[in-house]
Structure formats: C-alpha cells, structure tokens
Amino acid sequence: MATQISSYVARGETRWRAAVALSVDGTFRRDRRQGFPDEKSARSWARRAELRILEGQAPEPAPARERKRRAPAVKPPGDPSQWTLDRVFEECEKYWLRRKAPTTVNAYLSRYRTHLRPYFGRAQFAALDTAALRKIAASPAAMVFSSIVKTASKIGVPLPVGIWDPPPIRQGGRVDFLEPAELRAVLAELAPRDRAVAVVLVGTGCRLQECFGLRFQNLDFGRRLIHIEAQLCSQTGRLRPPKSKKARVVPMSGAVHDVLSSIPQGKPTDFVFAFTGGSFREHLDAAAKRAGLRRKIVPHLLRHTAASLAVQSGVALEVVGEILGHSSVAITGKYAHLRPEHLAAGVAAVDAVLNS
C-alpha cells in the first residue's frame, strides 16, 4: 500500500493532492484527487479511498465543479449584414491584432489601402456579387480578401452573396534575383546611407526588419561576426524575435565590415541604422529604375540575391539555409535550380543506356 500527500500552487494559492495505490488479491488499484484546501482534508479523503478499495467499492465521485461564467462577447453595434467592406476590415483588423504578428497585420493593411479600399471600401460587404469578387481575385490583394472572408465567418459577419473563388497560391517556381552587373548598377545609384543598408542586406542575407533591428552590441568586429537576435517591428517600433524565432550568427564579409566600421559607433543598445523602411524601399526602386532595370525591385530581392549568389558559388543549401535563418532546408530548396550539377550524374547514366 502506498499513499502520497503533496502540495502545489494554483492561482497563487496552496492546494493539496492525494494519491492512493493498493494491491488487493493480486489486482492493482489506484485512486487520486487534487484541489484540497489543506493537508488534513487530503489525508481524510485518502483514508476513505483506502477503505473503498479494500472493500471493493467504486471510487468516491468527484465533487461537481462550479463552472465560471464567461462574459458574453460584446458585438459591435449595428447590423453586420449592412456593413461596408471598410467596416468589416476594421473589425477583422482588431481580431488579427490579437492573433497575428503586427508585421502581418501591417502588410494586410498596406495592400488593403492600395488595392481594395479605393474601389470596394464603401461597398456593402454582404452584397458583393460574383463579378466584383472576380475583380478582387485578380488583384494583388486577393490573399488579404481571403483572410477577410475567413475572419468574417468567425466574428458573425454574413459572407458575400457572390462566389468567392480565389486563385490558387503559387507554389515553387523560379526565384527572382539580381545578376552581379545589375547589383553593382543599383548600388552605384543609391545614396551612401541607403547603399550601406543594401550592402548589409545582400552581404548577410538578412531581412530588412532584421537589418533595422541591429544594434552595435550585435556587431563583433574582432571576430567579424554579426549576431542577428531580433527584428524591428515597423508598426510598433519595438524589437521582436526573428521570423524563425531563433537567433543566428552570420559572418561579416569584407564589404560588410568596411560599411559597418565606417558608421560612427554609438552606445551598445543604439541601433546601427535609423528606421526608414518605407523610404528605403522607395529609394531602392528608384535607383533600380535609374540603373535601367525595368522590373520592380524590393528589399527582399537582395536577400534572394545573397542566397542565389552563394548557391551558384557552390555553397551547400544547408549552409545557405543556416545563414538565412530558414526553419527548414525545404525552404532553401527553392534555390536548388541554380545549382543543377548534382543531377548531371543521373542524366548522364540514362544517356549512356540510350546510346549503348
């Protein structure tokens, strides 16, 4: 026979638990319970449990717990079926902010303001017909509208009367990046401050928000290492963990070392670059146009360029993924088409059979 009495803390209060284990006629039986207000009550229950087990009785039923009543959710005033798309997006935004990363919500807001609000913002959401939904599906904000539809059903907003058939999410495909000559041309058109940011992006493969989240304490000039430990949230202005939720160490190349060492050193907790995310995007795209590039250039393209140049130079995908901070090698696999040499042996083997 074994009886164990122990205490634990729940919601700031000390509670007691009891466990009884007995072997009766070769049959092992056990009973346990917790939530007792004091040790005496726990031991009293344990004695009763021992008697029940010895007498072959069923365990003592647990006392019914009083369920706490939750306050009903406060619904926004007005009839949701009459809400405009602007109003529905506003309520969805409140819902997202409690469940999604601020950077994601900020990206949704940016696309909504550009591609949906000017054309459908004042339209009644529930009255959107199939023709209107097709136009939305063909816009760059199709993914945002899909999130609106999913969230609307959760917050009690009637869905549009039309058929929402969004385009399938593109999987795989070739990654766009800058060729060496294009990269040099774009860098030459940038102002010194923006050029420094671009060099760090393409020299380390870090994300734009990770670059703006760098502080002087993250730079190890002695060992030429950069500790990427956080990213700067453009919406709140606060530091948050990187996208992969893991810190990483990236080697400091010669070009990156020269750029960073030329910046006047501040306090260890000072940011290396003052945040100007929106203006840097504009300056980068304008520089690309002046350099003669006809496609839109965004900061994330520099990250793709860093990975692409590394893969083409023979760096293993696993190493590239570690530098980029990918959570899985499968994500880095989208750069595999840049290094098809490992497939040549298989093709050559088949060719030898066909030519024999």
DSSP string, 163-214: ---PPPPP-S-PPP---HHHHHHHHHHS-HHHHHHHHHHHHH---HHHHHT-
Query: Which residues, other chains included, contact 206 with Cβ-Cβ below 8 Å and sequence gap of 6+?
Result: 200, 226, 228, 250, 303, 325
| Mean pLDDT for the stretch of residues 210-233 | 93
Summarize pLDDT for 144-181 with one digit per residue, the tens: 999 999 999 899 999 999 999 887 765 555 678 889 99
Here the tokens at position 268 are: 């260890």
User: Given a cut of 80, is residue 58 above it in pLDDT?
Assistant: no
Report the CATH number of the 180-338 domain.
Answer: 1.10.443.10
| Token duo for residue 323 | 């530098």
What percent of the chain has a predicted confidence (pLDDT) above 70? 82
CA separation for the pair 285, 302 (Å, rounded)? 12
Least confident of 8-22, 166-180, 193-207, 251-265: 166-180
Q: Which of 152-156, 273-277, 319-323 has the highest mean pLDDT?
A: 152-156
Dihedral of the alpha carbons of 282, 284, 289, 290, in degrees to the nearest 10:
110
Asked if pLDDT for residue 43 goes beyond 90, the answer is no
Q: Residue 234: which pLDDT band, with cuts at 50, 70 and 90? A: confident
| Average pLDDT score over residue span 290-301 | 91
Answer yes or no: are the C-beta atoms of 228 and 247 closer than 8 Å. Answer: yes
When pLDDT is cut at 50, 70 and 90, the band that residue 310 belongs to is confident
The stretch 292-313 carries a mean pLDDT of 88
Average pLDDT over residues 187-202: 94
**What is the structure's pLDDT at 196?**
95
What is the band of 68 on the pLDDT scale with cuts at 50, 70, 90? very low
Burial label for 222, CB within 10 Å (0-12, 13-18, 19+), is exposed
When pLDDT is cut at 50, 70 and 90, the band that residue 14 belongs to is: confident
- Say yes or no to pLDDT of 353 above 60: no
Indicate whether 207 pLDDT > 70: yes
The pLDDT of residue 146? 93
Give the Cα separation of 338 and 261 in Å (integer): 33
- pTM of this structure: 0.57
* Mean per-residue pLDDT of the chain: 83
The predicted model gives 60-70 an average pLDDT of 55
Q: What's the pLDDT score for residue 345?
A: 57
Q: Give the span between the Cα atoms of 176 and 298, in whole angstroms.
A: 11
SS percent in the chain: helix, strand, coil, step 5 = 50, 15, 35
Distance in Å from the first CA to the final CA of the chain:
80
75-84, 167-176, 293-302: least confident range: 167-176
* pLDDT score of 261 more than 80: yes
Which pLDDT tens digit goes with each residue over 114-147?
A: 999 999 999 999 999 999 999 999 888 999 999 9
CA 211 to chain centre: 17
> What are the structural domain ranges in the chain?
2-54, 80-154, 180-338
Strand arrangement of the beta sheet that strand 225-228 belongs to: 219-220, 225-228, 248-251
Average pLDDT over residues 337-348: 56
Q: Write down the pLDDT at residue 44.
A: 87
